[in-house]
Amino acid sequence: MKAVLVALGGNALLKKGQKESILTQFKNVEKTIEKISVLAKEHVLTITHGNGPQVGSSLIRVEEAFGKAYSLPLEVVVAETEAEIGYIIQQSLYNFLKRHKIDLPVISVLTQVIVSKEDPAFKNPTKFIGPYYNAKQAVELKKQGMHIKADPRGGFRRVVASPLPLKIVEASAIKKFTKEAIVIAAGGGGIPVVEERGNLRGVEAVIDKDLASAVLATDLGVELFIILTDVPCAYLDFGKPTQRPLRRITLKQAEQYIKEGHFGEGSMGPKIQAAINYLQKVNGLVIITSPEKISQALQQRDGTIISRGFTAR
């Protein structure tokens, strides 16, 4: 059976405009599970996922409980949301497999991801997280030492470092587990940690889940790396009158498009970069598409297909 890693985008859990709740996330995940069911039935499957909205909600809880309960550093919030979402996906997938009489365990692995203490991202935090603040609140929070910036979408928000993922601590264990179970891992990009004299220590940061997924896909040596998002494929000139879809492109073409700045840093850019990072080390196939188009994309009739070898068409 082919080894596959599927990176679930945020829309698999919460769609734009939806009210955040556990019930909503269960319903959305169940729909996504239906779409990727063919993979669960026929392949060695590993699943990763994002956690942006969930981290934001958890940080609000931390703020509201200040003085009433012990506070949580960001890396612990990442760990908590990784477990929360892992549970939702794990139970939804378990129920699906049981309904279809497929005897296959599903497990979630809390995953630590090593980053460098010297990563430039720590000197220039840019990743927006958590609740929105007004100008007065922003001034007060800055006085307390928090990094606050104006969010292009309005208001002010906290910004933290988003360092590059270097190594999945639990990669060897995850690889062993995939021989007997569907594994959910590296949720939200994983828990960011640094190495100090052979020991691990958590750091306040968030890791891009697509880049972390690429590291895990490389470690596992999967033959197919699928990145699910809220659009059917990647585009050049996205949102412009000249917008055009990318259907089949080579690794070299993807590298050139990144170099030319065709993709947004907070949207398609990390997904294309993740594909590049994976294909530079593994001679596999990358598919970028939406959950609704996954069946067509697996037949290479939709989505963006990236490989080392073929010519775009």
Enzyme catalytic residues: 10-11, 127, 209, 271
Chain position carrying tokens 């928090």: 146
Q: Is 48 exposed, middle or buried (0-12, 13-18, 19+ CB in 10 A)?
A: buried
- Residue 100 CA, chain-centre distance (Å), reads 28
Return the C-alpha torsion angle 284, 287, 292, 298, nearest 10. Answer: -40
CA distance 231 to 69: 40
226 by DSSP, 3-state: which?
strand
Angle between helices 209-220 and 268-279 (to 10 degrees): 20
CA distance readout (Å), 45 to 20, 41, 49: 28, 9, 13
Looking at residue 302, its amino acid is D
39 token code pair: 């993979």
C-beta of residue 227 within 8 angstroms of C-beta of residue 76: no
